[in-house]
Amino acid sequence: MRVALYARYSSDNQRDASIEDQLRLCRARADREGWKVVGSYTDRAISGASLLRPGVQELIADGLKRRFDLILTESLDRLSRDQEDIAGFYKRMRFVGISIVTLSEGEVNELHIGLKGTMGALYLKDLADKTRRGLRGRVAEGKSGGGLCYGYDVVKQFDANGEAIRGDRTINEAEAAIVRRIFVDYLAGQSSRTIAMTLNKEGVPGPQGSEWGPTTIHGNPKRGVGILNNELYVGKLVWNRLRYLKDPDTGKRVSRLNPESEWVIQDVPELRIVDQEVWDAAKARQKSLAYEPPTEPGENTLNERRRPKHLFTGLVKCGCCGSGYTMISKDLLGCFGARNKGICENRLNIRRDALEKSILTGLNTHLMEPGLFKEFCQEFTREVNRRRIERSTDFEAWRRESERTERELDKAIQAILDGVPGARLKDKIGTLEARKAKLTELLASAQEPPPLLHPNMAEIYRKKIAALHRELQSGETEPQAAETFRSLVNQVDLVPEGGTLAIVLRGDLAAILRFVAGKKNPDVLSEAGVLDDLLSQGSVVAGTGFEPVTFRL
């Protein structure tokens, strides 16, 4: 009788000598039975939840080749703890005439397969439940539920009995500085790919000493993975966001997102690395760049989310036919309508670097006619401030009338207390109460008027444009500055004039005004109807209107 021996242990915490102990017992049984051992197969520190183990796969392959007549192992759960796997293994071996004998159960039959397979599956489930219960209690104490993320170190300490205290973490200052840098670079407009490449070029080791990759940076916001999504960096420990299942075909763990109601969240402020303002700004940028499925048939929102390759990609249009100016060679731009459709006579081309240089050179003085913009700013400021003063006047009048009404009511009540018949004051008190209620409603619904606009709006504009020009020429701030520029200029027209191309920029006036207002005064255009009224006044712009704003270089 040719016999194959099989041994396995499942955890790194178990002794490697466990394999030798199992094989020694099996050899002793084979010697007593007079069987000839022709081979031994082992799997070290591998779970029995799957048959995708090198040792057992080799055992199956040799069994199908009839290289032995019997398999001997310590117990059936050494072969597998999965009901489906152990049943399939038994059927394959029986098909080629190979018996299975264990030291615990003896010769295995269908009854053993059913009972032991079920017991093995229940054991795995019970073990998983106990492990999760222990981890949940650890998380409730503000300790880690397992694993170590970038930016932290494991704290090794022991209790009075010498037992290891698990789950404590401390900030790794060197790695924390890299985390903060990643957030700063991301908010400066750099992509996750650019950040990863820069860190690799500088030789900065990534998580677990590996190289940085784009997904290491941006990860998956919904699953909370990736540097930009790890809420532990803002002092919030989130556990049970994901659950893991083994793919029955590959044996690999696959993650599934749990409902948010099952998440366990614990505040750990001592582990905060990133300021809340920086975190919120990064989340806002992620949301603005996130892909949203199209709502209309044929709509492809990915085109809108694609990052422009060059500063003016997608903005340059032919002033004759409206077609885009596209790359016709490595550095040359030409009219797509003339070159590819034959619908335009404009055959003038322009080098991309020359176009960018012309626009950037004239940015300080020609992004919009300074005198015209100054005139508009003055008129706009006067009109908005006039309306705000009117609102402020109304607000003050309501407040003073409310105080006066309150005093009249107090006098009427005092008169009744002094002996004046209430019937004579009934109508007056009713009128005062109704007016007081109305004024209270008006004051509650009205907001305090915002501060007046800065009277020197045009000068602020000039300084901001100069700063934008400098940022566009700087390698560090260029990505963020490019996004700002593209928000102000929504089209660049190239118009043939006398054998050359005139450059005409078309901008969004509302975006320009918001750009001037900045973060300190974001409601510059909130006055209802002011902008529409001013845009309709030809005198403000010498009769040309502001839709769109155009200026030439």
Higher-pLDDT residue of 315 and 227 is 227
Mean pLDDT, to the nearest integer, of 225-230?
A: 90
Give Dmax over CA atoms of the chain in angstroms.
124
% of the chain with per-residue pLDDT over 90: 18
Higher-pLDDT residue of 432 and 352 is 352
Whether residue 447 has pLDDT greater than 90:
no
Name every residue whose Cβ is closer than 8 Å to that of residue 212 and which is 6 or more positions away in sequence: 195, 196, 197, 199, 200, 204, 206
Q: What is the pLDDT of residue 543?
A: 26
Reduce the DSSP state of residue 246 to 3 states and report it: strand
Q: What is the pLDDT of residue 525?
A: 45
Backbone angles phi, psi at 502, to 5 degrees: -85, 140
- Range with the poorest average pLDDT among 182-191, 462-471, 495-504: 462-471
Are 39 and 73 in contact by the 8 Å Cβ rule? The answer is no
Tokens representing residue 366 in the block: 């020609």
Backbone angles phi, psi at 21, to 5 degrees: -60, -45
Whether residue 175 has pLDDT greater than 70:
yes
Residue type for position 279? W
Q: What is the pLDDT of residue 357?
A: 77
When pLDDT is cut at 50, 70 and 90, the band that residue 31 belongs to is very high
The domains of the chain are located at 2-125, 169-287, 316-361
Name every residue whose Cβ is closer than 8 Å to that of residue 17 and which is 6 or more positions away in sequence: none
- Range with the poorest average pLDDT among 181-185, 437-441, 499-503: 437-441
Q: What is the pLDDT of residue 343?
A: 80
The helix or strand, by DSSP H or E, that contains position 371, with its residue range, turns out to be helix 370-417
Place of tokens 């009219």: 335
Whether residue 402 has pLDDT greater than 90:
no
Tokens representing residue 538 in the block: 């030809």
Mean pLDDT, to the nearest integer, of 501-518?
A: 64
% of the chain with per-residue pLDDT over 70: 67
Distance CA 28, CA 8 (A): 18
The number of residues in the chain equals 553
When pLDDT is cut at 50, 70 and 90, the band that residue 15 belongs to is low
Whether residue 477 has pLDDT greater than 70:
no
Place of tokens 């593209």: 486
User: Can you spell out the DSSP letters for 255-292?
Assistant: EEEPPGGG-EEEE-GGG--S-HHHHHHHHHHHHHH---
Q: What is the pLDDT of residue 95?
A: 92
Distance CA 66, CA 482 (A): 70
Q: Is 346 exposed, middle or buried (0-12, 13-18, 19+ CB in 10 A)?
A: buried
Tokens representing residue 276 in the block: 């809340």
Distance CA 38, CA 72 (A): 11
Distance CA 442, CA 435 (A): 11
Higher-pLDDT residue of 382 and 324 is 324
Reduce the DSSP state of residue 47 to 3 states and report it: coil
According to DSSP, the β-strands at 36-44 and 2-9 are: parallel
Whether residue 30 has pLDDT greater than 90:
yes
Name every residue whose Cβ is closer than 8 Å to that of residue 121 and which is 6 or more positions away in sequence: 81, 82, 83
Distance CA 510, CA 491 (A): 15
Q: What is the pLDDT of residue 126?
A: 78
pLDDT (tens digit, 9 = 90+) per residue, 115-145?
777 777 777 777 777 776 777 776 677 776 6
Question: What is the fold, at CATH topology level, of the domain defined by 169-287?
Answer: Hect, E3 ligase catalytic domain fold (3.90.1750)
Reduce the DSSP state of residue 505 to 3 states and report it: strand
**What's the per-residue H, E or C state across 139-202?**
HHCCCCCCCCCCCEEECCEECCCCCEECCCEEECHHHHHHHHHHHHHHHCCCCHHHHHHHHHHC
Mean pLDDT, to the nearest integer, of 242-261?
A: 75
Nearest to 483 by CA among 186, 189, 191, 184: 189
According to DSSP, the β-strands at 169-171 and 253-257 are: unpaired
Reduce the DSSP state of residue 39 to 3 states and report it: strand
Q: What is the pLDDT of residue 549?
A: 39
When pLDDT is cut at 50, 70 and 90, the band that residue 459 belongs to is low
Whether residue 1 has pLDDT greater than 80:
yes
Whether residue 149 has pLDDT greater than 60:
yes
Are 152 and 170 in contact by the 8 Å Cβ rule? The answer is yes
Bond from prior residue into 548 cis (ω within 30 degrees of 0): yes
Whether residue 303 has pLDDT greater than 60:
no
Place of tokens 């993650």: 255
Place of tokens 């390698």: 475
Distance CA 512, CA 510 (A): 5
Q: What is the pLDDT of residue 5?
A: 95
Residue type for position 94? R
Q: Which of 388-397, 412-421, 528-537 shows the highest mean pLDDT?
A: 412-421
Mean pLDDT, to the nearest integer, of 201-212?
A: 88
Mean pLDDT, to the nearest integer, of 254-278?
A: 86
pLDDT (tens digit, 9 = 90+) per residue, 91-118?
999 999 999 999 988 999 888 888 777 7
| Class of the CATH domain delimited by 2-125 | alpha beta
Whether residue 159 has pLDDT greater than 80:
no
Q: What is the pLDDT of residue 536?
A: 40
